[in-house]
Structure 1
Amino acid sequence: MKFEGFQVTNFRNVIDSGWINANQITAFVGQNEAGKSNLFEALYCLNPIDDATYDLDEDWPVDKWEGRKDAKGKRVCWALFSLDGDEIEALYEYAAIKPEAPAEGSEGGEGKSPAKVSLPTEAKVSLAKAYGYRTDFHLRGFDDGILDEDKAAEWMQEHTPNFVYIRDYEMSGAQIELDQLKQRLDKAGGQRHKLPNEDQTILIILDLANIELQDFLKKGQSSEGRTIRSFDKRSASRYLTQQFAHLWQQKDVSFDIEIDGPTLNIFAEDAGIGMPVRLHRRSTGFRWYVSFAWKFTHATNGDFKDCVLLLEEPGVHLHFTGQRDLLKVFERLAEHNTILYTTHLASMVDQAHPERVRIIESRDNHVAVTQGIVSSQRAPMAVIEQSLGLTGDHSGILGSRQVMVVEGGGDAVVLHKLSGLLKAAGREGLSDKIHLWPADGASKTPMYAGFAIGQGWDAGVLLDSDEAGNKARAKIDELYVSKMAADSGQKFRTIMLGKAAGTKQTDFAIEDLFPPKFFIDCVNEIYGIAIKPEDLPEDGSDMISKKVEHVLKMRHGHTQLDKKRIMGEMWRQFDTWKSVDDLPAHTAGRAEKVFKAINEAFGD
């Protein structure tokens, strides 16, 4: 089933969140105490992996306390899942009301088949839960009288993904006395959620190893039992290592659960080192990953699929590169799960997917949710601005300028160099009113465009005329431009570089402003080879970089073209150009057309 979204009402500081659409991966961005956790806790109780439920005494909004006496039955959360074609058929097969066979010899009964039922093309499962009641499952899309309601309810409860809520990740990795753990568990009445996070994690480890705590302690009281227990812990160590490898791919790590009497230690060993280290001596970020991996393994029975994963501030203990790796892990997990996570880290906001962002604000002390990357409040927007490279008062400066988003810093350098030379010769360059704002590739430009539109800036975007540029243009139009009110007076320009340069090439990037020989010479200088223009393929993309890359792969054994190195050589050539007459052939004319198109688009 595909998770479509949810709504929370009457829960702590959430009076009404409004409907919140969910992507396969959705990031909830906001300051501390804004209410992100409240949204997740309310959603989790809707279909949890354990017996979590709402507590009227704790969860009813304090500023509506006078209505608490009548709160039983008031809905707290509802959510929607959509079924695919196979699931619709499976549900029908399980819950269909079978027509009674006609009595033998009855009129018209002999040889007559039951009428074929036309199944819906769309069907949805809605879940709702109120104070004092269990979750209600309701099916939408099927006509009345087709399904047995009780059997349909059974199927929905069995197949609707559970919500998995992980918020306490950190574990110290210190040794644990299992007999003392058993005493604490007994004192808590066997209710794990009342134990400290460290104790809960150790119990999860034992569960994953199919080890029952009391039985494990009993085995330690005899030599035969200790022998069996040694096999248990070896099996557990191997399994935990395998499961951890699914989520941690920075390097190979193996785990060893060591038990001496009632004392449990966990060791971690990096491949190639040959010496295990107690877990508590590893970094906080590593222990965070260990805790996350094993809790997720436990929640999904080791399958890593078919759940809605709710993560509180994932990656907060990780280095920047670890956070970016975690986003890649999310992409892999999202093939079979839905992931919702909260964050206040700019590095945990994926610039390539602005549609995944939900801004969480606090308005009149209540939660308000904004779909997109624009908020009137400073705190949540600080995260977005930092993600986009805006620091200090840069945002304010850009807001008073005309802003043109370009695909990267290299594009900005090229355009500024060419503009300067053209202006010095009395020809048309980029208007002084227009500020070039570099993104980090074409896929990231929709994030920048959405921010500029949301802030009401006088802005536009310049994209390469290639597949990536065309995808970015489509996303910008779908998410933002198409939704701009016609009477708002705001305008956003999307300019494709090839059309602006007046070229007939199908594909056209910033380096195509120069003649092919100039780019080839830069490549030859960097790689120490001698590619000739006649070596370039005639078929495929007509972008010079793609043609040269093809030759590098086919004839010279390189895996790809390192455009950063090539751009560095181009910049070295730029330093030798003192006037427009020094530019390679046709460059000035193409560049001038581009600047004219940009200036005219901004009304200059």
Structure 2
Amino acid sequence: MMRFDFFKITNYRNVIDSGWIDVSQITAFVGQNEAGKSNLFEALHCLNPIVPGAKYNLDEDWPVDHWEGRKDGRGKVVANAQFALNADEIQSLWNYAAVDAAGEREPFVLPQSCNIVVWRGYGYQTRFKVHDFPEGTIDEDRAIEWAKANVPKFVYIHDYEMSGAQVELDDLQKRLVRAGDRHELSNEDQTILIILELANIDLDDFVEKGTTSEGRTNRSYDKRSASRYLTKQFGDLWQQKDVRFEIEIDGPTLNIFAEDDAIGMPVRLHRRSTGFRWYVSFAWKFTHATKGEYANCVLLLEEPGIHLHFSGQQDLLRVFERLSARNTIMYTTHLASMVDPANPERVRIVESRDHHLAITKGIVSAQRAPMAVIEQSLGLTGDQSGLLGNRQVMIVEGGDDAVILHKLSGLLKAEGKDALSESIYLWPAHGAQKTPMYAGFAIGQKWDAGVLLDTDEAGNAAKKKIDELYVSKLAEASGLKFRTLMLGKAAGSKKVDFAIEDLMGDDFYRECVNATFGLAIKPEDLPVDGSTMITKRVEVVLKERHGHVELDKRRVMGEMLRRFDSWKKTSDLPRGAAVSAGKLFKAINEAFALAT
């Protein structure tokens, strides 16, 4: 799909000039209430709305603290955006808008890149401009026609409330007639109309059918077909469990029932949880907006998941990942659980400066409210952030790494050998892929910090992201030193892959695996490639010889920690572990220029 690169909002409520905001396939806008997140999305939505009719109102939307400029506001630009075309889209545009020469198109090499700029101001419709084709090679009017038809539409969803209560269709019909415009109806009424449209049910026709016995019979087929369609569309978005919807109509009264295997019988929608009804509302509104295609949209979501349990929020983030293959997802949040630590590059901090919106890319803000969200997502509680700011901080991949390193350091220190400096605090992340967010936070806070990564594919990927996002841009610019250590090299190993378990040696880990699973794996059973980390070599044997789907590292770690408790001196350690650990601690201390 066409890539949404960046946008800018100006002259709109508390947004004087947002500056250019670059966009990821999924972008989270984190900020406090009244900072301007809603204003940002409302202004952007009007640029190319999927439902026609949205527009800017100079009398309501012009910034109140610049009110003297309102009289000259007509034509002032509110929203700018740029989209980048892929190779297929460039070809499609060329096929549609190319200029013919003497009845035949001249040989022409298509540009490698092409951008479409879109903008709209007060009192005007949206305008489009195609860039990067040489002058005279395409018909500009045809190019604009193509752009209007193909630039992604904006879907703005901000009201999710849905009671699920029964609806009197004849009364709804009357309210719609009185309102004249469905946008003047309550959110509840609009949602019911969406459901009816999704089900291909015309409200007037449906009410009319209810007045005769033959009509009611025909209507029963309509509602069965509608129920199947709603069930399918909901299942495409929500995959926690199978849910079946059933529309029931008794006279003019419409009820929606939901049934899943856990309940075993239909239950009226209003009896289901608020979080479930939220998901139903979101799913059907997005289905309606995209006509069930779920594609080629910029989806703007206000505080999604606020009514969901933590597991439901994680499911929603996974839904975003799936939808982002064919859509751009942008959402606002003040929930730590809706910030994905594995992708800090997706975060934009929304601040209020002098009562106007300001955007900061990344995960560091001078303001307390957005930082509270980021800190909570990183597991920082109370005044721990302030505590760590006065320490040397080494980020490690997980809690297991911290436990193992502290145990080894204690044994070595007791015997006067190289151990981890007491000035260094080990801060566990939740896996290699999430360490960049921890690193970005530490660099942004100007902590004296570093990160220790496994020498493997995930660790190398994390190192690359940390270097590109933070070290090369933030740390070096401020003169701050941030250390990135790879575990294998720091421990003096020549293995290509090296994880925390490799510190104890292959034989120790193999013995723990045998004790955990009741096996008798021998050294000669392991793959001969000694460059691979022990966990991967053991997993091959478990899969190929013992029918395991994967290596359950948590169970093996439990056995390892049980054995740790019996170690009282370095001579109790597996052979070579003390030497490898000593080299590692020395490398960490030297990186921080600290003595043991």
State TM-score, norm by structure 2. Answer: 0.98
Residue number in structure 2 paired with 1:97: 99
User: 1:186-335 residue pairs with structure 2 within 5 A?
Assistant: 186-189=177-180, 191-271=181-261, 273-335=263-325
What is the distance in 2 between the residues matched to 1:506 and 1:183? 73
Instruction: Report if aligned partners of 1:254, 1:271 keep a CA contact under 8 Å in 2.
Output: no
1:16 has 2:17 as partner: yes
- 2:350 is paired with a residue of what secondary structure? strand
Alignment match of 1:71 (pick from 66, 70, 73): 73
- 1:254 is paired with a residue of what secondary structure? strand
State TM-score, norm by structure 1. Answer: 0.97
Structure 1 residue 586 displacement after superposition: 0.3
Amino acid at match of 2:226: A
Structure 1 residue 542 displacement after superposition: 1.0
User: 1:66-465 residue pairs with structure 2 within 5 A?
Assistant: 66-101=68-103, 115-189=106-180, 191-271=181-261, 273-465=263-455
What does the per-residue CA deviation read over 1:52-103, in whole Å, with 9 as the maximum and x for residues that have no partner? 11111111000001110000010001111100111111111111111124xx
Residue number in structure 1 paired with 2:40: 39
Instruction: Report if aligned partners of 2:364, 2:445 keep a CA contact under 8 Å in 1.
Output: yes
What is the distance in 2 between the residues matched to 1:20 and 1:321? 30
Amino acid at match of 1:430: L
What does the per-residue CA deviation read over 1:296-346, in whole Å, with 9 as the maximum and x for residues that have no partner? 100100011110100111100000011011111110011111000000000
Amino acid at match of 1:208: L
What is the distance in 1 between the residues matched to 2:506 and 2:515? 14
What is the distance in 1 between the residues matched to 2:476 and 2:315? 41
Alignment match of 2:496 (pick from 485, 500, 506): 506
What does the per-residue CA deviation read over 1:425-481, in whole Å, with 9 as the maximum and x for residues that have no partner? 001111111000000000000000000000000000000000000000000000000
- 2:451 is paired with a residue of what secondary structure? strand
What is the distance in 2 between the residues matched to 1:232 and 1:448? 54
Residue number in structure 2 paired with 1:564: 554
What is the distance in 2 between the residues matched to 1:220 and 1:228? 9
What does the per-residue CA deviation read over 1:91-124, in whole Å, with 9 as the maximum and x for residues that have no partner? 11111111124xxxxxxxxxxx753022111001
Alignment match of 2:526 (pick from 536, 540, 547): 536
What does the per-residue CA deviation read over 1:469-497, in whole Å, with 9 as the maximum and x for residues that have no partner? 00000000000001136463310000000
What is the distance in 2 between the residues matched to 1:523 and 1:584? 15
What is the distance in 2 between the residues matched to 1:171 and 1:226? 27
Instruction: Report if aligned partners of 2:444, 2:474 keep a CA contact under 8 Å in 1.
Output: no
Residue number in structure 1 paired with 2:592: 602
- Structure 1: gaps of 5 or more residues: 102-112
Structure 1 residue 539 displacement after superposition: 4.2
Structure 1 residue 541 displacement after superposition: 6.1
Instruction: Report if aligned partners of 1:245, 1:252 keep a CA contact under 8 Å in 2.
Output: yes
Amino acid at match of 2:354: D
Q: What is the RMSD of the two structures over their aligned residues, measured on CA atoms?
A: 1.1
- 2:44 is paired with a residue of what secondary structure? helix
Paired residue total: 592
Instruction: Report if aligned partners of 2:452, 2:484 keep a CA contact under 8 Å in 1.
Output: yes
Instruction: Report if aligned partners of 2:100, 2:106 keep a CA contact under 8 Å in 1.
Output: no
Once the two structures are overlaid, the 10-residue window that deviates more, 168-177 or 467-476, is 168-177
Amino acid at match of 2:374: I
What is the distance in 2 between the residues matched to 1:274 and 1:582? 57
Residue number in structure 2 paired with 1:106: none
What is the distance in 2 between the residues matched to 1:170 and 1:540? 58
Structure 1 residue 530 displacement after superposition: 1.1
Q: 1:499 to 1:540 in 2, by over 3 A?
A: closer
- 2:478 is paired with a residue of what secondary structure? coil
What is the distance in 2 between the residues matched to 1:469 and 1:151? 49
Structure 1 residue 532 displacement after superposition: 1.0
Residue number in structure 1 paired with 2:538: 548
- 1:76 is paired with a residue of what secondary structure? strand
User: 1:477-492 residue pairs with structure 2 within 5 A?
Assistant: 477-484=467-474, 486=476, 488-492=478-482
Structure 1 residue 540 displacement after superposition: 8.7
Structure 1 residue 200 displacement after superposition: 0.7
What is the distance in 1 between the residues matched to 2:386 and 2:45? 39
Structure 1 residue 529 displacement after superposition: 1.1
Q: 1:310 to 1:239 in 2, by over 3 A?
A: same
Residue number in structure 1 paired with 2:50: 49
- 2:340 is paired with a residue of what secondary structure? coil
What does the per-residue CA deviation read over 1:110-156, in whole Å, with 9 as the maximum and x for residues that have no partner? xxx75302211100111100000000001111111111111111110
Q: Percent identity?
A: 70
Structure 1 residue 227 displacement after superposition: 1.3
What is the distance in 1 between the residues matched to 2:484 and 2:304? 35
Q: 1:293 to 1:486 in 2, by over 3 A?
A: closer
Instruction: Report if aligned partners of 1:541, 1:547 keep a CA contact under 8 Å in 2.
Output: no
What is the distance in 2 between the residues matched to 1:234 and 1:509? 56
